[in-house]
């Protein structure tokens, strides 16, 4: 059960005086955003990534507010505040299709409204001021529900990425090689392991092929 609690703390951090859960979550996301220095937007890697992102946006249709930030830091790609897609400049080293899949996955999180859904779960379990004794009491249940939702969101974002690959004329194999480039991982609190994600992708690919 410990990892659920760790998951809860990782997302919320330590609350300041008299804060609601939405403020705590927003502050925690802001800290993550500020943790990675932004890369030079004119650097070749940044331009390569932005070009792929623009290709994606042109095909995406009406968009909610979304921003791309290329950074030099640890995470390869993540979405913060539900609208800021943060990617490592090393994304430029991947093939166009791999990069497209990873960016489309993140855009999927934005377009499918995953962050507001996740915030809603936290609000339901922590409705008032964030006080440590109360949050400790609900952390296991909250952690379980948030983790299950996070896993579902990852698979939905993968399917979104797969659709984008197909629409832009790339092979679904690019999604598989993107996973291989990231390295095989087991389940975490926030992400299903690589094996589950590949199985889900295969099912999504079969469904999309069958629908044609
Ligand atoms: Zn994701």
For the sheet containing 67-71, what is the strand order? 67-71, 84-88, 77-80
Cα of 102 vs centre of ligand 1, distance in Å, is 9
| pLDDT tens-digit readout, 149-189 | 999 999 999 999 999 999 999 999 999 999 999 889 999 98
State the distance from the centre of ligand 1 to the C-alpha of 91, rounded, in angstroms: 15
Buried b vs exposed e over 179-201: b needs ≥16 C-beta within 10 Å?
Answer: bebeeeeeeebbbbebebbbebb
H/E segment holding residue 130 = none
How many A from CA of 18 to the centre of ligand 1?
Answer: 31
Q: Which pLDDT band, with edges at 50, 70 and 90, does 75 fall under? A: confident
Which pLDDT score is estimated for 119?
A: 93
Q: What does the pLDDT average to over 3-16?
A: 58
Mean pLDDT, all residues of the chain? 90
- What domain range is 60 assigned to? 2-211
Distance from the CA of 78 to the center of ligand 1, in angstroms? 6
pLDDT digits (tens, 9 = 90+) for 94-117: 999 999 999 999 999 999 999 999
Q: What is the whole-number distance in angstroms between the Cα of residue 134 and the centre of ligand 1?
A: 29
Interval 140-148 mean pLDDT = 92
pLDDT for residue 131: 82
Give the separation between CA 41 and CA 36, rounded to whole angstroms.
14
Q: How far is the CA of 176 from the centre of ligand 1 (A)?
A: 15
Task: Determine the pLDDT at residue 1.
Answer: 42
Is 4:144 a contact under the CB 8 Å cutoff? yes
How does pLDDT run across 17-47, given as a tens digit for each residue?
A: 678 888 888 888 898 899 889 999 999 999 9
With bands split at pLDDT 50, 70 and 90, how would you rate the model's confidence at 5?
low
Total structural domains within the chain: 1
For residue 40, report the distance from its CA to the centre of ligand 1, in Å. Answer: 25
> Three-state SS for 88?
strand
């Amino acid at each position: 059960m410990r990892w659920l609690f760790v998951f809860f703390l990782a997302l919320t951090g330590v609350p300041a005086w008299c804060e609601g859960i939405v403020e705590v979550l927003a502050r925690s996301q802001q800290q993550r955003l500020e943790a990675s220095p932004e890369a030079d937007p004119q650097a070749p890697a940044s331009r390569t990534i932005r070009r792929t992102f623009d290709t994606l946006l042109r095909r995406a249709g009406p968009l909610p507010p979304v921003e791309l930030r290329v950074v030099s830091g640890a995470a390869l790609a993540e979405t913060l505040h539900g609208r800021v897609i943060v990617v490592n400049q090393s994304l430029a080293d991947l093939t166009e299709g791999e990069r497209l899949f990873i960016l489309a996955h993140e855009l999927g999180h934005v377009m499918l409204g995953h962050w507001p859904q996740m915030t809603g779960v936290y609000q339901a379990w922590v409705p008032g001021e964030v006080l440590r004794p109360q949050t400790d009491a609900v952390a296991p249940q909250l952690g379980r529900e948030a983790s299950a939702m996070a896993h579902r969101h990852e698979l939905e974002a993968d399917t979104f990425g797969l659709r984008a690959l197909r629409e832009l004329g790339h092979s679904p194999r690019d999604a598989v090689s993107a996973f291989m480039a990231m390295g095989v991982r087991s389940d975490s609190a926030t992400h299903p392991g690589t094996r589950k994600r590949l199985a889900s992708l295969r099912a999504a690919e079969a469904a999309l092929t069958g629908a044609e």
